[in-house]
Amino acid sequence: MPHQLLDIVARAATSTDIFSLADISSVRNWDYSLPTLTKDKRFTERKPWTSSSSFKTAFDERYPILKEIKLDHLALMGGAVLSLLTDAFTSKDLDFFVVTDQPTLSDEAAATFSHDRVKQFIHDVYTFMSTSNDELKKLQEEKQKTKPAFKIDAKKFYQLELFRVRRVLNVYTVDVPTLRAEDWSASEILSVQLITSPYATLPDLVRHADLSITGIAYFNGNVHFTELSKFSFENLCFVVDGATFSSTYVDRVIKYFDRGFDVLLPYLDVSKVRTHNFAFGVDEVIDLPQLTVVVNDIKGHKVCVTEIKKPKLVDGEASAKESSSKFDGYDRAGASNSMHAGAIIHCNIVSLINGTYDAFIVDGEGANYAKAFRDRPYITERMLINSYETVKNDLYTNSTLNLSKLVKYFTVLKPSALLDRVVGSYVAAKEAEGRAASAMFDKSFDAHVERVVEELVAEQVAIAKLKIVELEKLTLPTKTVESRRGVAPSPEVFFGKYYKAL
């Protein structure tokens, strides 16, 4: 018999209903009538919110700099909102999305509106900090006219040199230096991620949440829920029905379970789970195709979990996929912000020589933050020469050849031809001379590798210089990251042998 919750899940993809904090039930009403992954004696606290005004106060206290910045048409969504609502965990960054509130805009006009809104936000944040510093400097100068020794505490100034903007595809990640606390020697960095994919209305946005517990948005001074995210927040849980899947979905399921939120698995056949070992105080395993669930007890539909992790096979498949993909998701885009300037240059050079322009990282720092608004990064001949000098020095050290770096930085030849030129040709020549294998790799091999690498560097830099010229002639449209919300083959595939039709 269909469950009422499944009706809510079915409506989630098309519903335009939005709820507020005033609509949230003060009590939890989930009765474990469907299989639920939880932890024994776990109880995650939930603050007794009754209005958005109290949430706004908490938001302003946690992020005081944003109190001074206009947030119209920007919706904060996901972990940062949930973190404030529950205090169960601390979110490391803020994810803002653009809501045009103009359903009649053309796709092109909406995209332009969205990019302009994000750029304005970044400009407003930097301008506020810069203006604040200027006013303090002016005050200090005025005071010093009568009190030469007067000096304003350095902690009251924003460290503008730490302001950084990175763009991958259409995701901007901004490092915002906050004012230093009394016991801090450096500014704490607030990481803000802004995605320029435009949404015509708020319901359009929140429907795209991959986990129902994250389908909560702070927009125009109010907290908004979908029908499903309202249920999830009231009961501190989320539904995994096998109908949603993406490259990061399993990781996020595990992350939010570990943060204190139960997982509802409506199509899990609990009767198929082994329970024999429980009598001996030993865990059992539910080996779903995409999740490995270690359980220590089952009470009706309440599945007490020791640990949830990814199957080894899934880990291997994910690694293979990620190693060959571009920055095609929010998490990968955000990862670019942890890269130092040299690493970004290397990343862009590799993208240039391989023609994978979608993987470019466009960056700007301090007063030059607007460089991140360009459609392509700066790549100069000097960068090429210095970067390949570094590669050359790291490619062959202590008689060890770094093969992954060789094929990564040298596209002048196919990998098989590269290996032949660096190693194979030398080995063949020594074999022809009758040299024993044990005596091949001596100082003469070191000299051979050094000479060949010098030649390869010269050839690759020459090719890269031509590609820089070609790049400047190209129009590079900004592509969008893939939405976290994807589509799984079917619940039957997701649940595998544990699937139970309802």
The 3-state secondary structure of 106-145, one letter per residue: CHHHHHHHHHHHHHHHHHHHHHHHHHHHHHHHHHHHHHHC
For residues 137-142, average pLDDT: 95
The half-sphere exposure of 427 on its side-chain side, counting CA atoms within 13 A, is 8
Closest alpha carbon to 200 in 77, 116, 75: 75
CA angle 197, 486, 267 (to 5 degrees): 145
Give the model's pLDDT for residue 326: 35
Give the model's pLDDT for residue 334: 62
For residues 184-204, average pLDDT: 88
Q: Containing H/E element for 174?
A: strand 171-177
Give the model's pLDDT for residue 91: 86
pTM over 0.85: yes
Give the model's confidence band at 303: pLDDT under 50 very low, under 70 low, under 90 confident, else very high. very high
Residue pair 274/284 in contact by the 8 Å Cβ criterion:
yes
Q: Does 1 have pLDDT greater than 50? A: no
**Of 134-138, 175-179, 327-331, which gets the smallest average pLDDT?**
327-331
Percent of the chain topping pLDDT 70: 91
CA distance 411 to 431: 28
Give the model's pLDDT for residue 243: 84
pLDDT digits over 351-410, tens only? 999 999 999 999 999 999 999 999 999 999 999 999 999 999 999 998 899 999 999 999
**Of 114-128, 209-223, 325-339, which gets the smallest average pLDDT?**
325-339
Residue 362: strand pairing partners: 167
Instruction: Name residues whose C-beta falls within 8 Å of residue 119's C-beta, 6 or more positions apart in sequence.
Output: 373
- pLDDT, the chain, mean: 90
Q: Does 12 have pLDDT greater than 50? A: yes
What's the distance, CA 235 to chain centroid? 26
For residues 449-458, average pLDDT: 96
Q: In 3-state terms, what secondary structure has residue 63? A: coil
CA distance 242 to 265: 9
pLDDT digits over 65-84, tens only? 999 999 999 999 989 999 99
**Of 115-129, 327-341, 351-365, 470-484, which gets the smallest average pLDDT?**
327-341
Q: Are strands 302-309 and 36-38 parallel, antiparallel or unpaired?
A: parallel
Give the model's confidence band at 320: pLDDT under 50 very low, under 70 low, under 90 confident, else very high. very low
CA distance 106 to 116: 15
pLDDT digits over 21-36, tens only? 999 998 899 999 999 9
Q: Would you kindly state where each structural domain of the chain is located, as residue ranges?
A: 4-30+44-238, 380-475
pLDDT digits over 271-286, tens only? 999 999 999 999 999 9
For residues 119-125, average pLDDT: 98
Instruction: Name residues whose C-beta falls within 8 Å of residue 396's C-beta, 6 or more positions apart in sequence.
Output: 402, 446, 449, 450, 453
Give the model's pLDDT for residue 325: 36
Give the model's pLDDT for residue 484: 53
